[in-house]
Structures are given as structure tokens and as C-alpha cells.
Amino acid sequence: MTSLVLMLALTQSLLQDDASPYDPPKKPALKKHDHVTIEFVAPARAAADAKPRWDKELRQWVRSDAKEVPSAAVTAEVVDVRPHGTMVLQAVKRRTVDGATETMRLTGEVTPANVTAGKVSADHVLNLSVAIDADK
């Protein structure tokens, strides 16, 4: 009898909210101050002299992977979650070169559906902007 009650309790907990045990697992929702890695991947080269689509200045700031296809990644923080679920991302990096401090600020928006395992392709980031300020 006890095992039957336990089985009913487990079955009821699995089927709450019209869910099925065969449904894919739900993604954990990202919230403010979580980190998301934005991946910049150059498209496959059509010609031998093709250049990556981001400029030299950005490549100096980001971690570059040693793969055949040029790529880079920047880790950004979720600074806001809009009511409809869109997340606002921001990454700030500072460095000092020859006594001058440079600050890079990357901002953009992403929908939670495009974030997989804490990573998102730069192609899926809306309103992506990069600003570099130099203090002398």
C-alpha cells in the first residue's frame, strides 16, 4: 500500500502543469548578473585573401582561439531582463597601454532561446555595439 501511495505521488509530481516525462528538460532561466559568452566566429572563407568581419581593434581586446576559422569570445553580464524576456548584455574591459587607460564597452540584447549552455553567437545578438574610450 505504501509503495502504491509513493508511486501515485511521484506520478502526480511528474505530470503537474500538463508536463510529460517525455518533454525536453526546461532551460534554467538566466537572471540579472549571470554571465553569457558571446562568440564571434568568422564565416568560412570564400577566397584566400578574405578578412575576418570584425576589425583589428576588437581582435586585440578579445581572447582568440587557435583554430583554423578565426574566432573570439567575450564574456558579458546580464544587466537587465526585460518584461518579455529579452536580456540586455554588457561587457566592460579596461587595460593600460603606455600610461593611458583604454576601456572597451560591448552591449547588446539577446533572447533566452538563443542562449545555449551560457553561450550565444554574435549573429544572434541584437543592437550589438562596441565602444572604445581612451583616457590620457
Residues 29 and 112: their CA atoms lie apart, in Å, by 8
Give a yes or no: residue 95 inside a domain: yes
Give a yes or no: residue 86 inside a domain: yes
The closest of 28, 34, 44, 42 to 116, measured between CA atoms, is: 28
52: which DSSP letter?
A: P
> Residues 41-87: pLDDT tens digits?
776 655 445 555 555 556 655 555 454 555 788 899 999 998 888 99
pLDDT at 125: 92
Work out the average pLDDT over 98-121.
90
Q: How many domains does the chain have?
A: 1
Residue range(s) defining the domain that contains residue 66:
25-135
Beta strands in the chain (DSSP E): 35-41, 63-64, 71-81, 87-97, 100-110, 119-121, 126-135
pLDDT at 54: 54
Give a yes or no: residue 19 inside a domain: no
Least confident of 7-21, 34-48, 89-103, 121-135: 7-21
Give a yes or no: residue 1 inside a domain: no
Give a yes or no: residue 60 inside a domain: yes
> How many C-alpha atoms does 122 have within 13 Å on its Cβ side?
17
